[in-house]
């Protein structure tokens, strides 16, 4: 085993993780948000997550696996998130100084994005395991850039609740911790992980789609008008789609 390459895979995947924290930077210039703006930010995050789920995760899963693998992954992800939501609703978990009720949405977003990062880490490891270092680095770079708007999507609902920019960045980075942790085992055991990639991508997509329908859109509609929520979601979806398309993902 080439342990030098193992460490390279780890450090590259760690950089993709840290890139997620950059998504919190734009909110350094936003101090206080009105209720409609909070709702529109949440809806914008929903659009970005929906775009990432349908066009990136599910689309990539369809390329590397069968329809049934993707469908099973989607349903498993939705079930997992439904179970997680019930668990969160039954606990008094908090983020910072927020109340449990205020923290609920942020925790659910963090869980969904955390799950979403696992197959991305596997993808980095599998990319390097092909033996083409250029391909592995290109894939990792694309995921790192792709993580920035995902960091924005994580930070939006947290910042709307008054969480500091520094903490938003920390939580965003936390959601991508699975990338360096999953990349190394995937690189070392590529024959095991590669067949599971379609299921993993579908699972992450299903969890995020369920989050959008279950939590983000209802929360958005409590704070802004239906027109504002719909247009914000569309703009978030288009922004994420443009970014992923520019990266060739």
Q: SS3 string of 72-86?
A: HHHHHHHHHHHHHHH
State mean pLDDT over 222-243: 90
**Mean pLDDT lowest among 86-100, 109-123, 154-168, 185-199:** 86-100
Please say if the pLDDT value at position 235 is more than 80.
yes
Confidence of residue 233 (pLDDT cuts 50, 70, 90): very high
Q: Which of 27-36, 44-53, 185-194 has the highest mean pLDDT?
A: 44-53
Supply the mean pLDDT for the chain.
Answer: 81
pLDDT greater at residue 95 or residue 189: 189
Contact 110, 174 (CB under 8 A): yes
Confidence of residue 6 (pLDDT cuts 50, 70, 90): confident
With b for 16 or more beta-carbon neighbours within 10 A and e for fewer, the 50-64 pattern comes to bbbbebbbbebbeee
Q: How many whole angstroms separate alpha carbon 34 and alpha carbon 108?
A: 23
pLDDT greater at residue 94 or residue 23: 23
What percentage of residues in the chain have a pLDDT greater than 90? 17
Confidence of residue 92 (pLDDT cuts 50, 70, 90): low
pLDDT at 94: 65
Q: How many whole angstroms separate alpha carbon 50 and alpha carbon 204?
A: 11
Residue written as tokens 């983000």?
Answer: 216
- The ranges assigned to domains in the chain are 3-19+34-246
Please say if the pLDDT value at position 132 is more than 70.
no
pLDDT at 230: 95
Confidence of residue 95 (pLDDT cuts 50, 70, 90): low
């Amino acid at each position: 085993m080439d342990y030098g390459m193992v460490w390279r895979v780890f450090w590259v995947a760690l950089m993709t993780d840290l890139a997620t924290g950059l998504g919190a930077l734009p909110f350094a210039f936003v101090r206080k948000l009105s209720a409609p703006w909070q709702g529109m930010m949440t809806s914008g995050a929903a659009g970005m997550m929906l775009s990432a789920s349908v066009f990136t995760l599910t689309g990539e899963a369809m390329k590397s696996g069968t329809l049934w693998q993707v469908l099973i992954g989607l349903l498993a992800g939705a079930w997992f998130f439904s179970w997680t939501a019930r668990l969160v609703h039954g606990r008094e978990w908090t983020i910072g100084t927020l109340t449990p009720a205020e923290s609920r949405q942020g925790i659910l977003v963090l869980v969904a994005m955390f799950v979403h990062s696992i197959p991305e880490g596997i993808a980095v490891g599998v990319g390097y395991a092909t033996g083409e270092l250029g391909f592995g680095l290109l894939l990792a770079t694309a995921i790192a850039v792709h993580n920035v708007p995902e960091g924005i999507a994580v930070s939006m609902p947290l910042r709307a609740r008054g969480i500091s920019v520094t903490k938003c960045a920390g939580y965003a980075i936390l959601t991508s911790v699975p990338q360096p942790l999953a990349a190394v085992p995937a690189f070392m055991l590529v024959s095991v992980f590669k067949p599971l990639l379609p299921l993993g991508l579908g699972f992450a997509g299903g969890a995020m789609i369920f989050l959008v329908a279950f939590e983000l859109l209802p929360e958005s509609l409590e704070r802004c008008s239906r027109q504002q929520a719909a247009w914000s979601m569309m703009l978030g979806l288009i922004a994420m789609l443009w970014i992923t398309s520019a990266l060739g993902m």
